[in-house]
């Protein structure tokens, strides 16, 4: 296996209320990376994460599961955390050893108590947060209402990166306002078809794109100056600004997925690999003796020498 440097590693915790779809998302991520050849389901009891008999019996995660995925030249170390309040200690432990939290929200039920609790933990530990609206293909999914609810609870730092063209059973396409492209899928999900944004969506997409540009520029004085002078940023500049905003917790990007149908998962993984903070972007943890422990790709070699 390739030896990864500290600027090629992302440590991620999958978080959210029970039933938000973390285990199903983990399964889709592993499938997209070729780690597994067929996606299991919670109902069938054949997923990688919920492998213990008690988890198969209950139908939800009891223990955290650690896995990794090699994607686009990056190594994504992921911990799939239980969502039930009884096992919240697993999520807290995972956040202590990861750099970014991906909080899943069931688009049918919106911000639940468990969502608020885990968000408060990310606040306490000062961890970057990305939101993933899952189950947009659900019968009761309501994207606009959930976004409004998220802003009520988490403030205007909630910034749209993607929005669905349609929710419910007809969900199979979304607009990505970072790349300014339309993504759509066939019935089996997987690799998307990427097209230009339709004319009837362009005005709304431009408004959200502008809001995203402003949110990215706010995190870097140089980018802010360029934004004021030219009114726009390049994709790379936006990624750099969003990364800084994630570290500072001044931006909470929102992505759209249907984990069960493997729609939007690949695009979110691209963002995880290319944009979210690397290990060496994050403040170094401090020991009980107040000594910083900085990432060092040569440390293991020194120990084994």
Domain boundaries, the chain: 8-304
What is the spatial distance between Cα 282 and Cα 87, in angstroms, rounded to a whole number? Answer: 27
Quick one: three-class SS letters along the chain? Answer: CCCCCHHHEEEEEEEECCCCCHHHHHHHHHHHCCCCCCCCCCCCCCCCCCCCHHHHHHCCCCCCEEEEEEECCEEEEEEECCCCHHHHHHHHHHHHHCCEEEEEEECCCCCCHHHHHHHHHHHHHCCCEEEEEECCCCCCCCHHHHHHHHHHHHCCCEEECEEECCCHHHCCEEEECCCCEEEECCCCCCCCEEECCCHHHHHHHHHHHHHHHHHHHCCCHHHHHHHHHHCCCCHHHHHHHHHHHHHHCCCEEEEECEHHHCECHHHHHHHHHHCCCCHHHCCCCECCCCCECCCCCCHHHHHHC
| Pairing status of strand 252-256 against strand 129-134 | parallel
Dmax of the chain from CA atoms?
Answer: 62
Domain at 8-304, CATH homologous superfamily: P-loop containing nucleotide triphosphate hydrolases (3.40.50.300)
Q: Which residue has tokens 């995203």?
A: 212
What is the spatial distance between Cα 71 and Cα 269, in angstroms, rounded to a whole number? Answer: 8
| Pairing status of strand 181-184 against strand 173-176 | antiparallel
pLDDT reported for residue 245: 93
What is the spatial distance between Cα 140 and Cα 151, in angstroms, rounded to a whole number? Answer: 20
Strand order in the sheet with 129-134: 65-71, 74-80, 9-16, 100-106, 129-134, 252-256, 158-160
CB contact at 8 A, 49 and 23: yes
Long-range contacts of 240-243 (CB under 8 A, 24+ apart): 240/216, 241/215, 241/216, 241/217, 242/212, 242/215, 242/216, 242/275, 243/275, 243/276, 243/277, 243/281
Residue count (the chain): 305
pLDDT reported for residue 101: 95
Q: How does pLDDT run along the chain (305 residues), one tens digit per residue?
A: 677 887 888 999 999 988 888 989 999 999 998 888 888 887 777 877 766 666 666 666 777 888 888 888 889 999 998 876 777 788 888 888 899 999 999 999 999 998 999 999 999 999 999 999 999 999 999 999 999 999 999 999 999 999 999 999 999 999 999 999 999 999 888 899 999 999 999 999 999 999 999 999 987 888 888 878 887 788 888 898 999 999 999 999 999 999 999 999 999 999 999 998 888 888 777 778 888 787 776 665 544 44
pLDDT reported for residue 305: 45
Which among 269, 263, 295, 265 is positioned nearest to 68, based on CA atoms?
269
What is the spatial distance between Cα 95 and Cα 148, in angstroms, rounded to a whole number? Answer: 26
pLDDT reported for residue 302: 44
pTM for this predicted structure: 0.89
CB contact at 8 A, 74 and 55: no
Which among 41, 42, 81 is positioned nearest to 63, based on CA atoms?
81
What is the spatial distance between Cα 162 and Cα 107, in angstroms, rounded to a whole number? Answer: 14
């Amino acid at each position: 296996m390739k030896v990864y440097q500290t600027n090629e590693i992302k440590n991620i915790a999958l978080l959210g209320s029970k039933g938000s779809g973390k285990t199903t998302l983990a399964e889709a991520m592993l499938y997209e990376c070729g780690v597994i050849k067929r996606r299991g389901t919670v109902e069938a009891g054949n997923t990688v994460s919920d492998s213990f008999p008690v988890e198969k019996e209950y139908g939800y995660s009891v223990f955290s599961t650690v896995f990794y995925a090699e994607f686009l030249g990056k190594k994504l170390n992921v911990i799939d955390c239980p969502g039930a309040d009884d096992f919240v200690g697993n999520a807290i432990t995972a956040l202590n050893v990861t750099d970014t939290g991906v909080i899943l929200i069931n688009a049918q039920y919106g911000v639940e108590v468990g969502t608020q609790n885990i968000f408060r933990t990310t606040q306490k530990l000062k961890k970057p947060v990305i939101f993933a609206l899952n189950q947009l293909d659900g019968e009761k999914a309501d994207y606009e209402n959930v976004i409004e609810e998220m802003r009520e609870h988490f403030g205007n730092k909630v910034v749209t990166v993607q929005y669905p063209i349609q929710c419910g059973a007809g969900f199979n396409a979304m607009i990505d306002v970072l790349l300014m492209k339309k993504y759509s899928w066939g019935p089996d999900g997987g690799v998307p078809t990427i097209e230009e944004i339709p004319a009837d969506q362009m005005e709304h997409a431009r408004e959200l794109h502008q809001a995203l540009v402003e949110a990215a520029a706010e995190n870097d004085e140089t980018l802010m100056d360029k934004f004021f002078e030219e009114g726009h940023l390049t994709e790379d500049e936006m990624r750099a600004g969003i990364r800084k905003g994630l570290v500072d917790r001044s931006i909470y990007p929102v992505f759209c997925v249907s984990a069960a149908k493997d729609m939007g998962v690949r695009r979110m993984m691209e963002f995880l690999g290319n944009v979210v903070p690397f290990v060496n972007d994050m403040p170094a943890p401090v020991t009980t003796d107040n000594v910083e422990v900085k990432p060092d790709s040569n440390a293991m070699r020194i120990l084994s020498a």
